[in-house]
Amino acid sequence: MGLNEQQVERYSRQIILEEVGGKGQGKLLSSKVLIVGAGGLGAPAALYLAAAGVGTIGVVDDDQVDLSNLQRQIIHTTADVDVDKVTSAKTKMEAINPDVTVQTYKMRLTAENISEIIRRYDFVIDGTDNFTSKFLINDACYFEKIPFSHAGILRFYGQLITVVPGQSTCYRCVFRSPPPVGVVPSCSQAGVLGALAGVIGSLQATEALKYLLGVGQLLTGILLTYDALEMDFRAVKLQRNPDCPLCGGKPQITELRDEEQPVCDLKRD
């Protein structure tokens, strides 16, 4: 893909990187990334991927912007309260970079609809806050063979892992199934530092860009954990699990299903 004069200037700081170059920039412009959840993780990821010139970015979210989101979901502004998150996100992403086509999906992903959506993309970013969605994304990406970045955040802690299905450790290799309801607190119950969401969401965007460019070492087989209070990053090596119910030797999960395990019992009015 040839770059015009404006594009050469816009992307000059990354084109100058040996690992990117004009060729890499062309790759990014013809790449497609899906961001599931336009929240604390999805917001920084969407902004950075749009700024970097990822040509097509899908954003999935069924929610509207709430005042309590703005402490961390930096793609939304005060004027966006009550606006659909996908609409609010699309406006900012296109304002940053008109090169980018933003496709919005105002819906919740389910076992019924997820496959046909994710198969339109090269890479998926899981920025959801609930375990039903996280396991669904893991399973669907496995069946469709689409690499993805998984992340979770809570209080001052965050973690992420990149999964290349069939090749690297998947979410179910580590966590077999969703935790019982109420065992793991949600951010709305336990709180979360906004800047922490920014760190982890930016790391997810970094993984997406590296994957699209084919450079560096992905966080495959490694869970990167971040403790913001101690300012401690740890890379925990995780081997593939031969007993994994999804990608192990004798898989028990052979088709998609919705596992009903809501993240918390606090329902917002």
Q: Binding to another protein (CB under 8 A): which residues in 156-175?
A: 157-159, 173-175
194-213 helix and 42-52 helix, angle to the nearest 10 degrees? 40
Shortest Å distance, C-beta 119 to another protein: 20
Distances (CA, A) of 184 to 37, 57, 166, 189, 190: 19, 31, 28, 10, 10
CB-CB contact of 89 with 39 (8 Å): no
Q: Does 130 bind another protein (CB under 8 A)?
A: yes
The string of DSSP letters for 38-53 reads SSTTHHHHHHHHHHHT
Single residue of 53, 152, 165, 198 touching another protein by CB under 8 A: 152
Q: Does 41 bind another protein (CB under 8 A)?
A: yes
Cβ atoms within 10 Å, residue 243: 11
Single residue of 7, 27, 31, 39 touching another protein by CB under 8 A: 39
User: Which is closer to another protein, CB of 170 or CB of 213?
Assistant: 170
Look up tokens 């997810």; give the residue. Answer: 204
Residue 26 CB contacts under 8 Å (≥ 6 apart), including other chains: 1, 2, 3
Shortest Å distance, C-beta 122 to another protein: 20
Q: Does 143 bind another protein (CB under 8 A)?
A: no
- The contact mask relative to another protein for 238-267 (x = CB under 8 A, - = no) is xx-x-x-------------------x---x
Distances (CA, A) of 106 to 119, 135, 150: 17, 20, 21
Active site annotation includes 170: no
Report the distance separating Cα 123 and Cα 206, nearest Å: 12
Rounded to the nearest 5 degrees, what angle is found at the Cα of 165, between the Cα atoms of 164 and 166? 115
Strands (DSSP E) found in 123-249 = 123-126, 148-154, 157-163, 222-227, 232-237
User: Which is closer to another protein, CB of 26 or CB of 127?
Assistant: 127
Task: Tell me which stretch binds another protein (CB under 8 A): 24-32, 34-42, 97-105, 211-219.
Answer: 34-42
Task: Tell me which stretch binds another protein (CB under 8 A): 16-24, 66-74, 90-98, 139-147.
Answer: 66-74
- The contact mask relative to another protein for 178-217 (x = CB under 8 A, - = no) is -xx--xx-xxx---x----x--------------------
Report the distance separating Cα 52 and Cα 47, nearest Å: 9
Shortest Å distance, C-beta 148 to another protein: 13
Report the distance separating Cα 168 and Cα 252, nearest Å: 18
Shortest Å distance, C-beta 260 to another protein: 14
User: Which is closer to another protein, CB of 171 or CB of 211?
Assistant: 171
Catalytic residues: 187
Residues forming contacts to another protein in the complex (CB under 8 A) are: 36-42, 60-63, 69, 72-73, 85, 108, 126-131, 133-134, 151-154, 157-159, 173-176, 179-180, 183-184, 186-188, 192, 197, 223, 234, 236-239, 241, 243, 263, 267-268
